[in-house]
A and B are shown apart, each in its own frame.
Chain A
Amino acid sequence: MKRYLTYVTLFLLIVGTILALWECFVRQYPTSYQYKAQWMDSHAPGVSTLVLGGSHTYYGVMPSLMGDSVFNLANVTQHSEIDDWLLSHYIDRCTNLKTVIVPVDVTNTFDSPLEKSVEWYRGTYYKLYMGCDLFDNNLKYYCEISCLPAFNRKFLAAVQGLCGGDTSLECDSTGFGTGFATPSHFDENMMIVSAKTAEHRSTADSANVAYNSQHLMHIASMCHDRGIRLVIVTTPMWDGYTSRISKASLETVHGIVNQCVKKYGAVYMDHMNDTRFQGTDFYDCDHLSRQGAEKFTRILNEQLAR
């Protein structure tokens, strides 16, 4: 028994030490979540326009083209409950907040809660770096090494950093995602394949519609109560993708948006089928490239000014 307990204890100590060292190593390298939380903590009172949402706005709206007091608080796979939490968390500190931009489309309307999605691990970042209390007390939300997909990327970035390479944050100082560069050539076959995949993803579990709608309504009511303009946007998407979206899915999205517009006076800007966006404006079938993001931001800015 003594031998068994000694070995088990020793083994657990080794495991614990390795994990702790690994965790310390990756925590040294900043994430966009950490950066955005720190930025908001120090600049919240000066923000006039806040951009929320997932990758469509993270890679689609460039605050640097919209003025000094605009910040992009969106992030990859940032689901509706996170948007809701972030706005609730910061809204009272943003004393000059005039406009909130939030995307609504066939992806985020049907998304499952982040905790149940394939990208659940991003919850760890919200919990660790932004203080988000939406997730349970599972150990996996307390350490980065439990998030393998994110950990791998960060670990590689850290190693690149050690070798003198680029360890950038994947977002610029205004929170805009810099990961999607303009593709060197527009490959229609690749787009068709990704459109098919995205189409399946976008119509995921219709049971989530009520869940996401509820969070959007809460965002709208918070803005309404404080006299903040809520702008709902649907970012431009490649026509090969939009043509594959079912009519029923679109009707669901529009139903939710209309409810929000009627009840809380939100403004809806639908650019999904905007024909001004073509070819290299897209990174993939439903994300804008940097070039497309610049174009979209200028159009959005003009609309907001009106």
Chain B
Amino acid sequence: MSFVSIQFLLFLPIVFLLYWFVFKPTKMQNIFIVLSSYVFYGWWDWRFLLLMAFTSICCYASGRAIEKFEGRNKLQRAITAVNVIVNLAILGVFKYYNFFVGNLDVLLSSMGFALDWPTANIILPVGISFYTFQAIGYSVDVYKKKIAASHDIIDFFAFISFFPQLVAGPIERASDMLPQFARARKFDYASAVDGSRQMLWGMFKKVVIADNCAPYINTTWNNIDTTSSFNLMVVGFLFSFQVYCDFSGYCDIAVGCAKLFGFKLRANFNYPYFSRNIPEFWRRWHITLLAWFREYVYFPLGGSRCSKLRCCFNTIFVFVLSGLWHGPDWSFVLYGCAHGLMCSFYVLTGIKTKYDHNVGWKRVLPSVKELLMMLGTFTFVTLARVMFRAQSLGEAWYYYKHVFSWSVFDPRGGVVGLKVIPLCIMLLVIEWIKRDNSHVLELNGHGLMKHQWARWTLYLVIVMAIVLMQAPQQDFIYFQF
């Protein structure tokens, strides 16, 4: 079930009340989390549950086996490898089978061989990439002795299936989550209030901004050949806001929801559009995915402790993989490649990409230099994201051809999305003001917000905006990954 559905609005309070009032012992709470998570996930298709349960059993068993064969390194390595291969194979079959068969067919045909493998009509289980990566991370961590193998199958199942972050992240580390499942949890008023506020802001971003941008973007992309260059550019920027509000909105709801149950999830976003360069952008955007790739791919390849050329290769390789993670399409590969090349540029030139402070530190407005850097980064991200949105490479090429022409400066023929552009600007202004907080509605009780009436008025305004400004509901974009 989706976070923005009537079902979830009923599901959440029921689970919340049962969790704190009926299933009081930690063990029972964990069992209840597993049951609730399986109901939550099975709402899409009960058959997906079998796959998730299989992944959970494989990883749990491999962890126990690695522990059992302590001292027999080769055997431990083999168990880990088998487990990783099994999980990647599941992901490969469900997500990449048709892509590889199709491309292999093209390749072999060009060499004069005929491949007669049929493509399959496979339904992609929602969020499979997220929980598979989480499960693989656990297995590798156990092998590397970063964590002890879980002895409690309920805790482990709860870790893999925890419903707030099950279908679109954040991708959690076992070392962060398993101890939270093991220890007794106590309701914390401040944390619950903060979680509720974060959920509210996440809903606002998703329902009010992302869903309202969607019709303009979809219509334009469906009619790309009749849209003016100027509007193509506008829609490119709108898509950046749609993806951000859609995905970060989901993550805000997930993190906030977890707080209601006494859990702390990692932040997945940190005001990414205020990044001054691309490497900084990737430290602020989908943080947990890049952290996963850094930990399990980039570092084993040598990371940055090698020659600059090797480091560039590692960087590009990781970004290509992260692009492919999004879906089986060459446009995703190119999307990752573009970001990888940009990050490699910083590696080669040695230009500083890390800063001691947030942008505009202790200032109301950014400096001109910072503003230009942010605009440049945002423009690059927006242009790269065209490959993310286009249905094919041809469509992306058409877009670039028209946006990089003089006609892009000609706004005659109207401007699409005039109703949502003010919303996007408003979002940027609010985020700029709150950029030093973990989320926009983190109210620290200073100024006007120390008064309860002011806080409640703010909540009411947001709720009313969600109710009054909702657009046709769209699935969360990252569900498809």
Contacts and interface: CB of A to CB of B under 8 A. Distances in A.
25 contacts: A1-B20, A1-B187, A3-B189, A4-B187, A7-B193, A8-B196, A11-B456, A15-B460, A15-B463, A18-B464, A118-B216, A118-B219, A138-B6, A139-B6, A145-B468, A146-B468, A148-B468, A148-B470, A196-B413, A196-B414, A197-B414, A200-B223, A200-B227, A203-B226, A204-B219
Interface in A1-45: 1, 3-4, 7-8, 11, 14-15, 18-19
Instruction: Report the contact-size class of chain A (Cβ under 8 Å from the partner).
Output: 20 to 34
Interface in A139-167: 139-140, 145-146, 148, 151
B57 interface: no
A205 B222 contact: yes
Interface in B189-203: 189, 192-193, 196
Contacts of A1: 20, 187, 189
Interface of B: 6, 20, 187, 189, 192-193, 196, 215-216, 219, 222-223, 226-228, 412-414, 456, 459-460, 463-464, 467-473
Given A4-B192, A115-B472, A139-B6, A11 B226 contact: no
B472 A197 contact: no
Nearest to A208: B222
A145 B414 CA distance: 29
Interface of A: 1, 3-4, 7-8, 11, 14-15, 18-19, 115-118, 120, 138-140, 145-146, 148, 151, 193, 196-197, 199-201, 203-205
Contacts of B196: 8
Nearest to A197: B414
A19 B376 CA distance: 43
Name the prevailing secondary structure of the A interface residues: helix
A254 to B, nearest CB: 20
Contacts of A151: 468
Contacts of B413: 193, 196-197
Contact of B215 (A11, A118, A193, A199): A118
A83 B193 CA distance: 48
B460 A146 contact: no
Contacts of A8: 196
A115 B471 CA distance: 10
Contacts of A203: 223, 226
Nearest to A199: B226
B222 A204 contact: yes
B228 to A, nearest CB: 8
Contact of A14 (B414, B460, B468, B473): B460
A149 to B, nearest CB: 9
Nearest to B215: A118
A86 to B, nearest CB: 22
A145 B189 CA distance: 33
Contacts of A19: 467
A202 to B, nearest CB: 10
Given A14-B456, A145-B468, 5 more contacts: A15-B464, A117-B472, A118-B216, A200-B227, A204-B223
A4 B189 contact: yes
B111 to A, nearest CB: 36
Contacts of B226: 199-200, 203
